[in-house]
Structures are given as C-alpha cells and as structure tokens.
Structure 1
Amino acid sequence: MAFPLQRGITPPEISFLAEMEMVTIVPRQRLEGLELLGGPVEPLVPPRRTTVPLWLASLLKRQRRANILPPPWLHPESLSLILDIETQHQDYQHAFSPPPPLPGQPRLRDRGRKPNARPRYTPEGQRYYPTPPFLPQNVAQDQSFDNGEPPTLPFHWLEVGTMLLDVASDDVVDPDQTRRLLKELREVRSAKIRSGVDVLDVAAVAGGGVALTGVGAMEIGEGRGFIGGVVDGLRRIGASKEQARREQLAAAANGEYDATQDYDDDMEF
C-alpha cells in the first residue's frame, strides 16, 4: 500500500529549488562556458568573478576549482542587525523583517512611491515577471548596506545559508557565529509562526487571510502542516457552533425550546 503524498511542497523539494539560486564565485582555474537550461554560463577566467547557480558553485567548490563569495546578508554583522529587527523593533514583534524588494518595487526609503514592476521577455517575446529563485538576491554584488537601508533576508535564506555553511564554510566570515545566528533567527521566526494562532482564529472565522510577508520558502514548507491543520480545525469548530446555533434558533421558532428552560431546571435542581 502506497503512503499518501504530503500536502504541498516538501522541504527536500524546496532545497532542490534553492539550488537554482545564483551565487558569485571566484574561479581558481580556467574552464569553458556551459549551456544550461537556465541560460549560458560564461567561461570561467580567474580571478574574474562569475555568477553561476548554487548547485554548480557547490560542485566546483567540492572539486577545489572555485571559491564562493557569500552574499552580504550572510555576514555576522548583517545577521545580527536582522535579529535585532526581529526581536527588538516594535513594528516587528509579531511580524517578520521585510524581504528584499522585487524588480521595480521601491525600497524602504522610497516606499511612498507607487510600485512599478519591470517585466522581462523571453526569446519568443513573451512577457514574464521573475520571482525567486530567478532573482539575483544571493550574489555578492547584489546588495549594499552602505546606503542606510537595513539588510534583508531573501526568499531562500535558510536553504542557501545552510548549503553554503556545509559546502564552503571556509569562505564564510566567522562560520561558527554565522551558524549560531542563523539558528537563532530560525528559532525566533518559528516562534512567531507558532504564536499566530489568534490571527488564524480570526482568519478562519472571518474568512480572511494571514499575512506571511517576509517568510521564507523553507519556513512556509515547514509550517504548512501546522497552519493548515489549525485553520481546518478552527473552521470545523466554527461550523459546528454555527450549526448548533441554527438548530437552537429553529427549535425556539417552533416552540420546542425555551431559552429559560435550562435555567429554571437548574434552579429547581
């Protein structure tokens, strides 16, 4: 008998998708270019930086043919700032730190402007809007924190950080502290997801949604079962209460039930 498939995408599948994230490497030897499904890879000429998918960067790192440059958010200083935002900032006590802006979306300092996403086009001329993992959110030269903006966590922050620490820990600044900060961030954000039962209760009764802005892919995958189970359970409880209320109203309308009957019976007893 085959076991039923898990609802939604599984954590191993999320990690597999995260391997398509683009990272920056410094090749240690000359290699020819490659034609991949995601697009061509330029020839590797040391010491010129090159952007390649994470799976290819991991392979070259294991073969000692390249070094991986960690993204700016994976530095201990950046992770400490993000952890402070998650734990000490009043606006994010029950919310998550803001994600990096999408192409054409205004940054934090320009949030007063209207977003204007910039589409891209395929070789056939079809328009599309790129989303993770097809956004350069983990390349070394993508983000700069010198402009006064706080660091942000990309959509696949947990998967990319874990893979880089496993494969290229010698390329990461202070890997022990970075690993500890990633663990603390994961625990803090997981606690926020678990503490959102009140919001789930309101969403289940009112029929609204739950804001998950800033939540990563792995966090959604791990919390999908918990969130879905809580919402389904609250929806069943709400439906049973509503059905019982309708039955009482129908019985009272037919003269079969008196609202004061139970109270009188308790007094006599």
Structure 2
Amino acid sequence: GTLTPAEISFLAENNMITIIPRQSMDEVELIGDVIPNLRPMRRMEVPLWVALILKKQARCNVVAPEWMSETNLQIAYKDEAEHMDRFSHLLPWEWTETGELILSNAPDDLSSPPHVIRNLLRDIREVRQAKVRAGIKIFTHDFLQMDDVGAMEMNEIRPFATMVINKLR
C-alpha cells in the first residue's frame, strides 16, 4: 500500500528548519533527540515539528527555507515549465509537505505574501503532475526515470507504477 498524505506530512516534520527564538528555553531531552538551549534572536536548527509547536506558542519565528522564497519558486517553476523531459532539482524531497506546513502554521514569517507562495507551489505541482502523466505513457520494462520526484508525488504514483512494472515483468 501507500502512505496517506497525513502520514507523509508527519514524516516531513522531522526535517530540520531554522527558527529565531523569541525567549530563552532550557535544553529539552527527548527520546530520540535533544532540543538545545534556545536564546532569543539567535538562529537555531530544530525539527520542523518543534518549530511549529514553538510558533503556535508565540515563542519563535520560523525562517522559511531558501527554496521557499518567491524568487526561487519562480525560478523552479520556469525550470519545470521549460524542461518537460525532467523534474527540477531545485526543490527538496519533501517540498510539498514542508511548504504546506509552513503556509498553514507560519504564513506571517514568509518574505512574500502567503497567497503568492501558495500559488507558485500550486503551479509547480500542476506542471510536475503533467510530467508524471506524460511519463507514465512511456513506461518500458527496462527504464523509468524518476529523478527529483518528491515524496508526495512518488506516493501518488506508486500503486499505478507498481502495477505497470508487475505487468511488464
């Protein structure tokens, strides 16, 4: 089977992200990790899930990843649209999930208006889905190029791709 979008999003929350704490906080020891001492106005790397909790408590600002800037998303969109034979390498593995989590929980921390970022992410996703649909038509028994496909995209096509490969085998 496949994972649900919520499960993929949950897994993406383990990615590290930069925050700017608003107040001090002592180190917190967790089962699998340690959240370091937080000092105001000093950038720190923490898992995304920690950043979202601190953001909800108004204890930090989230620094959006560089790839989420309006300029970089426009470049990624242009790259996707101009090269219909491949996927852009400008986006990380969990770009869809990370983008949605930040847009939902920290829209005020983005350098551009959230609706602009959301629209660019949607446009990129539509172009990439068109590439996936076109790529599925040319499956062969010995070749399937999936370079730079994201986690959510891979999960969406997994059942169909598995079925096709099994039939080809």
Structure 1 residue 183: Cα displacement: 0.3
- 1:95 alignment counterpart: 86
- Counterpart CA distance in 2 for 1:212 and 1:61 is 35
Over residues 86-124 of structure 1, what are the superposed CA-to-partner deviations in whole Å (9 max), with x where a residue is unaligned?
Answer: 112xxx3221012xxxxxxxxxxxxxxxxxxxxxxxxxx
Match of 1:171 among 109, 112, 118: 109
- Counterpart CA distance in 2 for 1:226 and 1:74 is 30
- 1:191 alignment counterpart: 130
- Counterpart CA distance in 2 for 1:217 and 1:197 is 17
Match of 1:219 among 146, 153, 160: 153
Q: How does 1:144-155 map to 2 (within 5 A)?
A: 152-155=90-93
Give the AA of the match of 1:27.
Answer: P
Give the AA of the match of 1:173.
Answer: S
The alignment status of 1:19 with 2:13, answered yes or no, reads yes
Give the AA of the match of 1:176.
Answer: H
- Structure 1 stretches of 4+ with a deviation exceeding 6 A read none
Moved more, 222-231 or 52-61: 222-231
Match of 1:53 among 47, 66, 70: 47
Structure 1 residue 45: Cα displacement: 0.5
- Counterpart CA distance in 1 for 2:71 and 2:87 is 18
> Which structure: greater helix fraction?
2
- TM-score, structure 1 normalization: 0.59
Are 1:61 and 1:68, in contact at CA under 8 Å, matched by a contact in 2?
yes
Q: How does 1:135-150 map to 2 (within 5 A)?
A: none
- Counterpart CA distance in 1 for 2:31 and 2:85 is 40
Q: Which has the larger radius of gyration?
A: 1
The alignment status of 1:28 with 2:22, answered yes or no, reads yes
Give the AA of the match of 2:81.
Answer: T
Fraction of identical pairs, as percent? 40
The alignment status of 1:180 with 2:119, answered yes or no, reads yes
SS at match of 1:196: helix
Are 1:11 and 1:222, in contact at CA under 8 Å, matched by a contact in 2?
no
- Counterpart CA distance in 2 for 1:75 and 1:225 is 33
Are 1:25 and 1:68, in contact at CA under 8 Å, matched by a contact in 2?
yes
Over residues 51-78 of structure 1, what are the superposed CA-to-partner deviations in whole Å (9 max), with x where a residue is unaligned?
Answer: 1111110000011111100010000100
Relative contact order (C-alpha < 8 Å, sep 6+): which is higher? 2
- TM-score, structure 2 normalization: 0.93
Where does structure 1 lack aligned partners over 5 or more consecutive residues?
Answer: 1-6, 99-151, 240-269
Where does structure 2 lack aligned partners over 5 or more consecutive residues?
Answer: none
Q: Aligned pairs, how many?
A: 168
